Amino acid sequence: METKKDALKKRTKSDMIISFFVAAFMGVAAFSQIESYFMGGKDILNLYNGIYSVILCGVCIILGLILREVQLNGKPFTKKIIKMLRIIAFIVIIGGFVPAVVSIFVSSDGATHSFHFDVINFAFSALGVMIGIISEMFVYGYELQDDNDSIA
């Protein structure tokens, strides 16, 4: 009969593989979009999509590393995982601003644009804040897990 720990290891392994596969896909998409911008028609949407793809690639890599850590330790509440969640939160928050900042310097007609911050940028940054809040919940979970481990 399969134990809970064995089931957790199988699930985290498959999730980790999927996460790294998605990261690789996003890396290819980022390269393709950025290349299309510079080699093609200078469509600003290609550049935005490339930037978002780079950000999502980084997030998926870190998520894969988090799943690897859970698979190795069998514990989701560790200082290393909390640190990685905070890094993801920071990347996503900053990632919401990067395309808006890029729009100041780059445009399809060579002229500069003003700072353009739309709903997608706001949603991206808000998602980063939510991930940061979840990382704080992991701090509490780490403390509970530590107390429980010291009792047992």
Reported as a single tens digit per residue, the pLDDT across 115-149 is 667 888 899 999 999 999 999 999 999 999 888 88
Tens digits of per-residue pLDDT, 21-61?
999 999 999 999 999 988 887 778 888 889 999 999 999 99
Half-sphere exposure at residue 21, Cβ-oriented, CA atoms within 13 angstroms: 6
CB atoms within 10 A of CB 114: 8
Query: How far is CA 38 from each of CA 32, 47, 54, 82, 128, rounded to the nearest angstrom?
Result: 10, 8, 16, 38, 29
Give the pLDDT score at 73. 86
Q: In the structure, what pLDDT confidence band is assigned to residue 113 with cuts at 50, 70 and 90?
A: low
Q: Which residue has the higher pLDDT, 75 or 85?
A: 85
Q: What average pLDDT score do residues 72-94 get? A: 94
Q: In the structure, what pLDDT confidence band is assigned to residue 20 with cuts at 50, 70 and 90?
A: very high
- Please give the Cα distance from 63 to 53 (Å, whole number): 15
